[in-house]
């Protein structure tokens, strides 16, 4: 299937590793010119070289408003415009409710929720200049169902689900689609951190916690970053032109809700 992505221009945040990296790689494989982003410049540059010649790195801390402005501006300049924005930054805040002070809650919202708001706000004018575009928010199923020790991060995800749906309504007339991805358990360093945190809290073995989590997935396996990337690449394409304001769950059937 021709996804009609050749020559498109994309910025993918949080893309030096994990799901963001896989999405950037998937887009690049379809002929998209991609700017990848993370805070660690050395790791980011190494990732860009590994993915291919149509990938450029721009290091920036997306929790800093000034850095977001610079990132989007430099990405648009490097690419000659902007057609696709993929927000893919995790909220690395784990632990029980009583273990979180205000700082933890602010961190969860500032790193993920506010970074998505800011990058979208900066990217929209460039997409208007291009005659349209796509914003893909990699959110997380923890915003729809409670995961142990993930209340702060889940609250950030829930807020992003509402923003995704509302923004799609506002931007539709501008030919800018906004869609979300709610991934369940994905084999990344982030899920390992969640497992280890839960194991410590419950005084259990991490492997036992992992097996319990996998057992709750009807397909019998966690998703890979590439599974999520395949979905993101399709959603970014012209083949998905009528998918707008939708949040797609990819969790192997674990979330048994309408």
Q: CA-to-CA distance for 83 and 132, rounded, in angstroms?
A: 7
Q: What percent of the chain has pLDDT over 90?
A: 80
118-151: burial string, b at 16+ Cβ within 10 Å, e else = bbbebbbebbeebeebbbbbbbbbbbbbebebbb
The CATH number given to whatever domain includes residue 22 is 3.40.50.720
Q: What is the pTM of this model?
A: 0.93
Q: What is the pLDDT of residues 183-207, one digit of tens each?
A: 999 988 878 887 888 899 889 999 9
Average pLDDT in the 223-227 region? 96
Residue 176 lies in domain: 9-186+225-247
| CB contact at 8 A, 28 and 52 | yes
Contact 94, 194 (CB under 8 A): yes
Residue 149 tokens, joined? 């020790």
Split at pLDDT 50, 70, 90, the class of 145 is confident
Q: Does a structural domain hold residue 38?
A: yes
Q: Is residue 258 part of a domain?
A: no
Q: Cβ of 107: how many Cβ atoms within 10 Å?
A: 18
In a domain, 199, yes or no: no
Are 228 and 138 in contact by the 8 Å Cβ rule? The answer is yes
The answer to whether position 196 is within a domain reads no
Residue 258 has pLDDT above 80, yes or no: no
Instruction: Give the count of alpha carbons within 13 A of 208, CB side only.
Output: 7
Tens-digit pLDDT profile for residues 115-128? 999 999 999 999 99
Structural domains in the chain (count): 1
Backbone angles phi, psi at 24, to 5 degrees: -60, -45
Q: Kindly state whether residue 120 falls inside one of the protein's structural domains.
A: yes
Within-domain flag for 153: yes
Residue 62: its pLDDT value, please? 96
User: Residue 158 falls within a domain, yes or no?
Assistant: yes
H-type alpha helices, the chain:
18-29, 41-51, 65-79, 102-108, 115-130, 151-171, 189-202, 206-215, 225-236
Determine which of 83-97, 108-122, 139-153 has the lowest per-residue pLDDT on average.
139-153
């Amino acid at each position: 299937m021709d996804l009609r992505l050749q020559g498109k221009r994309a910025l993918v945040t949080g893309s030096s590793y994990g799901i963001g990296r896989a999405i950037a790689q998937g887009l690049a494989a379809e002929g998209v010119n991609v700017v990848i982003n993370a805070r660690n410049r050395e790791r980011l540059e190494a990732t860009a070289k590994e993915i291919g010649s149509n990938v450029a790195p721009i290091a920036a801390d997306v929790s800093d408003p000034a850095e977001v402005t610079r990132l989007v501006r430099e990405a648009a300049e490097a690419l000659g415009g902007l057609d696709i924005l993929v927000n893919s930054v995790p909220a690395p805040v784990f632990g029980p409710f009583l273990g979180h002070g205000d700082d933890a809650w602010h961190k969860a919202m500032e790193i993920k929720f506010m970074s998505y708001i800011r990058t979208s706000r900066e990217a929209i004018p460039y997409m208007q200049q291009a005659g349209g575009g796509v914003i893909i928010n990699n959110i997380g199923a923890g915003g729809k169902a409670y995961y142990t020790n993930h209340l702060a991060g889940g609250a950030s995800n829930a807020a992003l689900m509402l923003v995704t749906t509302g923004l799609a309504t506002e931007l539709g007339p501008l030919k800018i689609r906004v869609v979300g991805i709610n991934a369940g358990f994905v084999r990344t360093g982030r899920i390992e951190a969640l497992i280890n945190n839960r194991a410590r809290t419950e005084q259990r073995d991490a492997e036992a916690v992992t097996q319990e989590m996998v057992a709750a997935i009807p397909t019998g396996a966690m998703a890979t970053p590439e599974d999520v990337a395949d979905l993101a690449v399709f959603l970014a394409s012209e083949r998905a032109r009528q998918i707008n304001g939708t949040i797609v769950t990819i969790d192997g059937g674990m979330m048994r809700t309408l």
